[in-house]
Structures are given as structure tokens and as C-alpha cells.
Amino acid sequence: MSALMRREVGDPRGWRGQDPEQGDEELEEDPAFPFRVPPTDEAGAAQWRGRLFEIPRSAVVRLLVMLATNAMNVPRQDGFADRRPGMEKNAQVILSRFPEGSQFFTNTRHGGDHPDFYERVTGCWPMTQYAWDFGLVAVSPEEVGLIWSFDAS
């Protein structure tokens, strides 16, 4: 995952992603910007992993939709009811990359074993240099996916 954060590896299928930091001078100084790269020592790595919570596959589509909304607040999105089917379809395409048995993690604090990301999320453990960010780490035997959204304001 550190290699993804530092942009050292590309997408194994050649899919293009959106990198809002592309071209920023911060990337010249730190190729992982805005991410905080996981520590390599055992204690630090364990602490970093402790900020990720496993979620069931059934919650991933809604998390991906939440990550695509402004301010990551689905219920407040103007016109969401009309856009919802298309957004969920796009999220299903991303989810299809990860076969059954894949694991999914997020840094959001949410209640219960079956989070509903269309409800308000109560907080997060930031993985970037910003105070507020949400993301998904998807892990299969073939690849690791990193999908993140943050508020840089």
C-alpha cells in the first residue's frame, strides 16, 4: 500500500484514476502527498493498521458512492435520488475488480457490523495530511486498491 501512496505503481489493468494532486508542487517534495505513508517498524505499522476497520462487501458500493459525493454527506446531496442509480452502477464496476473473498477496509468510524454509508458517518482516523478524509482499501490476491476522498479546505 505504501507504494500506491507514493505513486510508484500503476493500475494493473491500466484503468486511469483521478489524482487531484497531480501537478501540485507538494508532490515534488513528497510523492505520497497528501497521504501519510504507513510506518515500516512493527509497532508503527500495527498502530496504523489499527485505524482501518474491516467492512463487509455488502457495504462497499455505498461507501464508494459516499466517496464520490461533495462533503461526503450523501443525504444532503442535491439531486441524489436521480443520480443514485448511475453512481451505484459505477461503484459496482469498481467492486467487480475484487472477487469474492476480497477484504475491504475503511478509516471511517461508523456503528455496527453493517455500516450504511448513506447515513451520517461519525468521524474518521485521517490517513492524509488533512483533518478529514474517508477511504477504502480493497485487498484481493491479485491487487490492492486505494480509493480516497478528503476535504482540503
State the pLDDT confidence band at 107, using cuts at 50, 70 and 90: very high
- The beta-strand segments (E) located in the chain are 53-55, 103-106, 108-109, 123-124, 133-139, 144-150
pLDDT in tens, 136-148: 999 999 888 888 8
Position 124 scores a pLDDT of 87
Percent of all residues in the chain with a pLDDT value above 90, rounded to a whole number: 30
Give the integer Cα–Cα distance in Å for 67 and 108. Answer: 11
Position 113 scores a pLDDT of 74
| pLDDT score of 8 more than 70 | no
**Helix (H) and strand (E) counts in the chain:** 5, 6
Position 15 scores a pLDDT of 65
State the pLDDT confidence band at 149, using cuts at 50, 70 and 90: confident
pTM, 2 dp:
0.84
Position 3 scores a pLDDT of 67
